[in-house]
Structure 1
């Protein structure tokens, strides 16, 4: 049901949201954040060189390897490496950040594929960034819901911002809630932090005022009775809303909400947003 807001201090609510919003924008525009990415390079067993990273890169059954030229150096876990360096087999959605001068070379695995994704502070997308448009926050979009755990986590395959790529998540349950007279539910994926959940969704604003492909919402760990708060004021754009050099997951089909969630971040200016 919708949270009652008759006693809510709207000014304090707005200030709390502004603090959250500014932190999101700072993280996005970090010198080595997603706006700093200059390339998305897919590795195979052939050594490849890229204009925005040192050395030659390849992958195989033993994982990712780079062969650095004379005079080239990376810092990996704070230690300098030269010549040939083996990053090993990387876990899905994991990776290593290797420092190269003022840049970071992200070495990662996404959708079962090893990638190199350099991040340079002077990337034009980052230096031109002026912030993300957003709806004014309002307590009406902070909803109380109920988390219902599945008997066992359900492997759930979803598409990605990159055509042909897939992500697989073990969905632990769903969140049920009411909005605009409708009883709705969203499949939840594991979040960052103990007990937290992540929800990927679209709604009737997607492709109109908000990014078409997806938005994400972090949900704090459910209470003992399953109660959760869905604060759509804090729904975030994923990196693919700003750059084509991201491999973001798409929502499962059941997470396409038939209502307009006019809250939080809108279409970025980088994608033609107002």
Structure 2
């Protein structure tokens, strides 16, 4: 018998596991320590580096390397564009001892901030 992996399932599982692990490590349990709703106007979010905004459901983040904001293990230097899917697991970014989950629900986009211990 041959077992074939499914990339989309593997990716979804990995993203879910990452989000779940972040929440388990959070001293707040499953609740974020902060939540910021994004708008079409570029803005700085309290306690977070960079400038954030949404255009046509896509999240734009302008940051410098000194901001220490990472996505998929790479430091953001310039403009990073994220494409969260409505109702799907969030996209995870890291900043110092925080995990940032970019989520889209019912057409609105938010950044949930979780404290981590790693």
TM-score with structure 1 setting the length:
0.31
- 2:37–2:108 contact (8 Å) kept in structure 1: yes
How far off is 1:38 after superposition? Answer: 2.1
- What is the aligned partner in structure 2 of residue 64 from structure 1? 59
Equivalences for residues 40-189 of structure 1 within 5 A: 40-61=35-56, 63-69=58-64, 71-88=66-83, 90-94=84-88, 95-121=90-116
Give distance in 1, aligned partners of 2:72 and 2:66: 19
Give distance in 2, aligned partners of 1:27 and 1:99: 11
From the superposition, tell whether residues 27 and 98 of structure 1 become closer, same or farther in structure 2 (CA, over 3 Å).
Answer: closer
- 2:69–2:93 contact (8 Å) kept in structure 1: yes
Give distance in 2, aligned partners of 1:27 and 1:55: 22
SS in 2 for 1:40: strand
- 1:52–1:118 contact (8 Å) kept in structure 2: no
Equivalences for residues 6-17 of structure 1 within 5 A: none
SS in 2 for 1:49: coil
Give distance in 1, aligned partners of 2:22 and 2:36: 23
User: Where does the alignment leave 5 or more consecutive residues of structure 2 unmatched?
Assistant: 1-20
Q: Deviations over 1:205-232 (max 9, x none)?
A: xxxxxxxxxxxxxxxxxxxxxxxxxxxx
Q: Which structure's relative contact order is higher, taking Cα pairs within 8 Å and 6+ residues apart?
A: 2
How far off is 1:28 after superposition? Answer: 5.5
User: Where does the alignment leave 5 or more consecutive residues of structure 1 unmatched?
Assistant: 1-25, 123-274
Please provide the CA RMSD for this pair: 2.5
From the superposition, tell whether residues 82 and 73 of structure 1 become closer, same or farther in structure 2 (CA, over 3 Å).
Answer: farther
From the superposition, tell whether residues 97 and 28 of structure 1 become closer, same or farther in structure 2 (CA, over 3 Å).
Answer: closer
- 1:74–1:81 contact (8 Å) kept in structure 2: yes
